[in-house]
Amino acid sequence: MKVWGWLGGVSALWGAHAALAADAQNVPVELETMQVTAERGEADAYSVPRAVTVVGRAQIERESPQTWTELLRGQAGAFLQSSGPGQSIIIVRGLKGSEVLHLVDGMRLNNAFFRNSPSQYIALVDPYNIDRVELQRGPGATLYGSDAMGGVVQVLTPEYRFHEEQWQAAGKLRLQYGTAELSKVSRAEAAVGNRDVSLSAGMTVMSYGERDLGDGGREPLTDYLARGYDGKLLWTPGVAHELMLSGHFFEYPKLARYFDVVGGPGGEGGSVQSYFEPNDRQFLHARYRYLLPLGPVQGIEVHVGQQVIRDHRLRQPNDSRIDTEQNRSTLSGVTAQAFSNLGDALSLRYGAEFYRDRIDSAKQRTPFDTGVTAATISTFPDGALQDSLGIYLDAQWWATARWQIDAGTRFSRVHTDLPSTPVSAATEFTDDDVTWQLGALYAITPSLGWATTAARGFRAPNIFDLGTLGPRPSGDSELVNVPNTELEPETVTTFDTGLRWQADRWRADLTAYYTDYDNRIEAREPTGNTVAEGQFGCSDPDGCIEVQSRNIAEARYWGAEGSARWTGSRASVYAVLNWTYGQELRSGEPTRPANRIPPLNGQLGAAFVLPASIRIEPYLLFAARQDRLDDDDLRDSRINPAGTGGWATVNLRAGWQALPWLKLQADGRNLLDKAYREHGSGVDAAGAGVVLSATARF
């Protein structure tokens, strides 16, 4: 029996059984575990050695997120941090930003000026144009290359497929209003097609007002507008071929850098005003699949895509000037992969990919005393290029009826070309790395399995690490960043092991992990030099401190992630618990807490299906206190130096299928009006509120 066919067969049988049982009892199906990220191919998440979290269509339809990352709030292995409204990231096993790889439909979202800290670019994906979100916890560098150290997060967008020869039409309209943030969201999409071709298009408009923090007032600078547009063509000219063409555009025309102005318990705000204006993402994507055997190859898939992210900013740091800047990343890539079955028990998946990212950057300064705008040092080297090439091989071997072994390796090469700048000469260099993974899945019983994985990941220094230029705000003084072209790649080695239980009504997993993080890049490290006013963009009369990024730290992380769900005839109960502990080590210095470690966190909930197609879901979200802070945490205006307090919110979601084509929902959030802040976030969470939504399908 072929391995990939076996996995598909098990998944199909499981899904058919669940669907038939649900139909017989008129109960929604809650088994959302099909994934593609861990194997670069579809399989049940419980059938692969690596730890995977899946948020499927049924759950997404019930959510009302500001950003797509909120779909992972309270899920196994994930912790949400929001620098401000309209911005949020996922922390995976203590790693974040460019330490975690983000994909959209199989193509990279991470670009060359991603920070290894909160990144606003992660939110530039329409949260209402999503079919599934997957999180592979732990390194995924063997299949995906640089940045996949803490994990791989993938967004999969919807695909309309029709199965009749005659032309058909379908669509959806969603309207939504929220009281706590005066939010108004509308999403419209429509599709036409038949079994050979389908064409779909959609539009999302999101308007948020000032946030109610539960004290009776509204928080300024938390209002914004966001818009998204998308289109997709699927064409199957024959049984062997499938072509997909898609385009996405998502923008924030003007978004306040909230924490930079307002500040917080960790320090005062650094600017009079600070905005992204605009911040947007354009994504064009083509995918080709060959679906029949071709000699020893059982299938081929090729992706070609281009992503353009614009990061334009306006910042008034004081009463003497305004700075404006325009940054753009143009990321073009092609990936190709195939798989082969060698006998009944061995399958290979192999491929290659190439990406090129060009960075364009410009900055201007307008002093108020002269009113004359002049060019100044740009944030990044204008015209910088970064190319990445990867070749990989991954094998799945059913050693016995109970043992599955998964092993793979990858060669990666990242070439960086930095043009000359006012503070550095032109240079280019190459980073090579070989990554690997080895996993095993053992069926202890038909319902209970044991999975274990060891994997190595790496992150090549990107343009943000290597070439960030000029002033960096820090309290009432200024730091001036100069490039460090001698940076080396960061690496991690992770070991995890756990149990999975899949019975008729139960799904549960518990995973423990340990990560060894070496050659860690630390930003804002003083060089010992002082920069005089007027040099390298320094505007402090007393001079600025020269800093740069350096490989000077190591870190160790360990923790556990667990989730469980019981599904009955008309009720279900679920629970998630995540715990991470991290320490940082520097030569000659005492061990200290690692940066931005999430507190103990999770969720607990239940769902009940009542007569008249009504679904009631009370749920609790919670996090413990976190007062283990490193030096960067203590300097961060978003974090209270005394630590972030623990919190729990009581929530109640109610949905009603009023008509076969109309669903109404009310989501009561933070019903006890708890005042709290998620650890590391730049703004307090919203107080008590209700989100009302209506979804019509045709």
Residue ranges per structural domain of the chain: 3-697
Q: What is the pLDDT of residue 476?
A: 43
Task: Give yes or no for a contact between 485 and 460, defined as CB atoms under 8 angstroms apart.
Answer: no
Q: What is the pLDDT of residue 677?
A: 94
Its pTM stands at 0.93
- Phi/psi for 146 (5° steps) reads -60, 150
Q: Quick one: CA torsion of 215, 627, 476, 535, rounded to 10 degrees? A: -130
pLDDT-flagged residues of the chain (< 70): 1-32, 216, 267-268, 472-477
CB count in 10 Å sphere of residue 373? 12
Burial class (CB in 10 A: 0-12, 13-18, 19+), 185: buried
Q: What is the pLDDT of residue 425?
A: 85
CATH code for residues 3-697: 2.40.170.20
Q: What is the pLDDT of residue 588?
A: 81
Q: What is the pLDDT of residue 300?
A: 97
Task: Give yes or no for a contact between 596 and 562, defined as CB atoms under 8 angstroms apart.
Answer: no
Expressed in angstroms, the distance from the first to the final Cα of the chain is 41
Q: What is the pLDDT of residue 485?
A: 83
Q: What is the pLDDT of residue 268?
A: 65
Is the alpha carbon torsion for 599, 577, 154, 678 positive or negative? Answer: negative
- The C-alpha atoms of residue 83 and residue 127 are separated, in whole angstroms, by 17
Task: Give yes or no for a contact between 340 and 347, defined as CB atoms under 8 angstroms apart.
Answer: yes
